[in-house]
Structures are given as structure tokens and as C-alpha cells.
A and B are shown apart, each in its own frame.
Chain A
Amino acid sequence: MKPFSQAADTLDQELAGKIDGILAAHGGDATQLVGILLDVEAAVERHYIPEAAAYYVAQKLGVKPTQVYDVISFYTALHDKPRAKFVLEVCNSAPCRVKDSDALLAALKRLLNLEVGEVTYDGRFSIEKVPCFGACDVSPAVRVNGVVYGHLDCEERILDMLQQLN
């Protein structure tokens, strides 16, 4: 079974256009590389940086591809492999763990029939464990594409959160 297409690994006109816009928004400034790559990742449906995009950014900014990959591989928030349309980032740090985020993680795994790091067959959902994202006042919390969903301490709220993702 071939679960989903890997076609996004070529740089199409549309993505190149989006990257041009992102570079312009950062003033074409190579020192803004981290922020630029974050924006590229957000512009790709599966939230990662395709190889062709990485090379394109390097060429446009006049930096070496190795520098781009040094940055991608160093920072937790940057990825070089396809993820999901909705990456459910579950906080794995103590402030959420003492509020039983383990139960939240177990519920997500059961509801989506997924393990951490796996992607659903349609490429829509994946679960990742991440360090604290500063939502400790509403813990246990999940962050999806930059949006925080807090107080996920019962199944009803977890289902509610999942249904909002479309």
C-alpha cells in the first residue's frame, strides 16, 4: 500500500512563489534564516521543508545548502521529512506532566489509532511529544500549527479539539 504521495518534494511554481513572498517579507535577509524556514514550513501542507525548497532558499539568500541543513537539523521546530497536515504537539515537560498529560497522550493515541511519530494514512494527523511551549497555565495542553488548545483533561474536550481541526 502506498499511503500518500511524496510529490511535494519537487518545487512547483506555487511553492516557489510562496517562498519568494516569504523571503521578501524578511527583506531577503540571510540572518533571518531561522524565521524564513519556519514560514516555509508553515506554507507547506505537510509542515516540513522539502529538499528542493531548502536548496531554493539557500540559492536565493546566497548561503550554502549545508548552512540551511545545519539550521534545519539543529532546531526542534524545523523538519526535513513530511509530517501531517495537523501535527498534534503534546507538551512533555513537567508542568503538563504533573497535570496528567500522559493521559491526554494516551487518549490521542487511542482515538487516532496512532503512535508518537506516526502519521495517519491520509496524512492528516500525527502526534509529537515536544518540550514546554509556555501554556502551563492551561495545562494539559496541545499545540496544533501554532494554536494552543488547553485544559484537555477529559475525553470530551479532546474530541472537541480534534473536531475543530479541519
Chain B
Amino acid sequence: MGKAVSFITRNFGKYDPASLAGYESIGGFTALRKALTMDGYDIARVLADNGVQGRGGAAYDMGKKWSQARDVKGEHKCVVCNADEGEPGTFKDRELLRNDPFQLLEGMIIAGWSVGADNGYLYMREEYSHLRPLLLSAIEQCEQAGYLGENILGSGLNYRIHLYSGAGAYVCGEGSALSESVEGKSGRPRMKPPFIKQCGVFHLPTCVNNVESLSLVAPLLLDDEGYYKSQGTEDCPGTKMISVCGNVKRPGVFEVPFGITIREIIYDLAGGLEDGHELRLVQLGGASGRICSPAQLDTPYTYKGMRQADLTAIGSGAVLVVDERTSVIGFLRMTQEFFSHESCGQCTPCREGNRHIALLLDKVAAGTHTQKDIDTLKKFADIMSSASLCGLGETAQSALLSCMKRFPEVFAVKEEVAVR
């Protein structure tokens, strides 16, 4: 466990997550008090100075996002906390919600102050419904203590947080689909523009952040010694929550400094592979993530390092380790099954692409494919990536495309079939 750190997870186990008094006793809400004396842009600058990139997957510069959200003119604005952690293999937000709900709420209130919003929406996936009572009670306790409501701590900020539930739709992690869902409708992504930052929930300017991004705000504002920046690497400072699962001895959630290698994550933190098995591949960033081959294990876990190695730049922070018992094509079919199920069916490239790629993968698995099938596979995957309406279709074939590069032998055409 040598490489694990504790910054965003510093409160885990230190207080009873059901008790606001417990959170206050370990210094809770001092970050909010500090934030309320600061200008919104200055808060955004703290995030920018620390080089924080959004933790939801798109890795957008968070300080920039907040100052842009503040720039947007509007009488009413919203903050959305995206807790629709739907990427298979990702469960880090679950730990943040369960172990430190108040740090998240504090981050959401600071976000409201910084961008000038009057409502915050916490959109949590149905699969975490067991955490609903905890969060509802946390919100209520904050209201009673005056951290939420009218004129918060005498600052003039009026801000409320509402808990909304998803219902098992992966696509609702996409900002505009999430907005539709919060409005009580089916979660189909909208055409863009207008973008969420101008026209999101209830057609109001909306600033959407991931649970981890928002949980990071309070500790960062209090980090006067620059601990966060001292972690990680020079071009990618800080720490990151990752969730490791699959064929490893100790699956779980870890907070790591950026710059750790994938090898260290698998062999040091997660205890290595299950006995007697060999590594086949690693999928990073959830089902929409690219595939890392065993030869790439020494890639540093930073946005730039991963991008240079042609891997998903961090994404959701999922690390799925797969051993030799699952074949590459078998794994791709599992991933494909997921996307075939989760495509919302609204746009043609994603709806039809997923269907036909699934059929072609069956053919590859059976070994009856021709070169033409492989070309079609690649063509459809490329069309989906460039022409889909939202991020789901754009990234659904990341695993396939990266496997075609890294494991070309899997797609090699058997000669007798090619002749036919």
C-alpha cells in the first residue's frame, strides 16, 4: 500500500457519516466559511492553480468550467452533481458518498456560491438507492444548521440541494440526458448546441460536476501548505480516486498520486493477479475505455502519459484487470453486450452500429469472418465515433478499436475462409 495517499479520502472513518456534528468536529464547513469570504472567480482560480481536471471522464479544466459558469448571465443557475456512476468497474463515487457525504455537500454549496447558482441537484443512480436515506438526512441536517437555505451563514447566498434518482440508464450520465431526467422525463440526450452550461436543467445555465470533483473542493480550499500540488507529477499534480476490480487479489478503491504506473496499481495496491493466472489485458476508464496490453503496464497514470500511450486519459478511474481465462474477443463481446443494451436508440450511428458490430463480433468469435467483415467492423466503429449524438456512441467502440491495434492476431482472417 506504499503508494496510496489520503487527501480527498482524509475524512474516511474519522466521523460518523450520518452526523453533521461529527463532520463539524473534524473541521467540517470551515472551507465553506472561507469560500464565502472569497470572490467566485478566486475560488475557480484555486482550482485552476492546482490543475484540477474534472473527474467525470472528460477531464475538462475545472477552474475554467467554474469561471465560465460564473460568466454566464442568468437570474437563476444550477449546479448538478453527477452521481450517476454508471461505467462498469467504477465504484469510487460510491465510497465518497458513503463515507463522506458532507464533504460532497460542502463542495456543492461552494460551487453554488462560486458560479452564482441558487439550486443544486444531486443526481444519484438507482443502484445506490441504499444511500438515499443517508444523503436525505445529510441535506436536512445542513438545512437545519443553516448551511443550506436562505442567506447561508449571513453571506446572502440562497441555495438548496435536491436529491434526484436515476433509474438504471447509463446514458443519463451524459449531461443533457441527465438534465432531461431531472426534469422528470426519459433521459435522451439533447442536440447540442445549446450546451449545458447555457441551457441545462430546466433550461437554466447549469454547471455539472462529478462527485469526486466536488468532493475535492473543500480540502483544496483549506490546503494552504500545497499538499495536493506536491503530489503527482509536475505536469499532472494531485491525487486521484481509482477503483480496481477484475481478476486481482485485492479489488477496491484507492486514492493514488498521479504518475503511479499501471503496474504499481495492479501489483502493489491490488495485490497482483489471482494465483496462477497471467494478465491478458487491462481496461481503463470503464466500458467506454481503451484497452491496455501487458506491454504497456509501465505507462504513468497521468492525463498526458496515458494520452501519449494511446490509452483513455484516466476517464472514470476504473481499472479492470482481466486474466488469460477471458479471451480478447470474449471480452469485447461482453463490452458490446453492455452498449447494445444501453444505447438509447435515438441516433442512427449508435443504435444500428452497436447492433451490427455485435453481429460481426459473433462472426469473429466463431472464426468465420472475412477481411471484408474486419473492414466493415472498423468502418462502423469509426462512423459511430465520429457521428453519434452523444458521448455514449462516440466512445462505445474505444475497446474494439484499441484491441484491433493491440491484438491484431485476434482479427486475422483464417485462410480457408478468405478463399471462399
Contacts and interface: CB of A to CB of B under 8 A. Distances in A.
Interface centre among A31, A93, A130, A139 (most CB of B within 10 A): A93
A74 B169 contact: yes
Interface of B: 85-91, 94, 125-130, 164-170, 181-188, 202, 243, 245-247, 251-253, 283, 287, 320, 322-323, 325-326, 331, 334-335, 337-338, 341-342, 344
Interface in A23-41: 30-35, 37-38
A134 B128 contact: yes
B91 A76 contact: no
A95 interface: yes
Which of the listed residues B167, B251, B253, B287 has the most CB atoms from chain A within 10 Å of its own CB?
B167
B168 A76 contact: yes
Contact of A131 (B128, B184, B338): B338
Interface residues on A, range: 35 or more
Given A70-B185, A92-B337, A98 B326 contact: yes
A98 B252 contact: no
B166 A34 contact: yes
A30 B164 CA distance: 12
Given A131-B342, A133-B127, A134-B127, A95 B165 contact: no
Interface in A128-142: 130-139
Interface in A70-125: 70-71, 73-78, 92-95, 97-100
A95 B187 contact: no
Nearest to B85: A134
Given A31-B182, A71-B184, A77-B167, A93 B88 contact: yes
Contacts of B94: 134
15 contacts: A34-B165, A34-B167, A38-B129, A63-B184, A67-B185, A71-B185, A74-B344, A75-B169, A93-B287, A94-B338, A97-B334, A131-B168, A132-B88, A136-B251, A138-B251
Given A32-B184, A136-B243, 17 more contacts: A30-B184, A70-B186, A73-B186, A75-B187, A76-B167, A92-B338, A94-B331, A94-B335, A131-B168, A131-B341, A132-B287, A136-B245, A136-B320, A137-B243, A137-B251, A138-B251, A139-B245
B186 A75 contact: yes
A147 interface: yes
A146 interface: yes
A77 B88 CA distance: 16
Contact of B187 (A32, A74, A143): A74
A21 to B, nearest CB: 15
Contacts of B182: 31
Q: Report the 7 A-B pairs with minimum CB-CB distance, sorted nearest first.
A: A74-B186, A75-B167, A77-B168, A132-B88, A76-B168, A33-B184, A136-B245
A154 to B, nearest CB: 15
Nearest to B341: A131
A109 B76 CA distance: 53
A117 to B, nearest CB: 14
A133 B243 CA distance: 14
Nearest to A73: B186
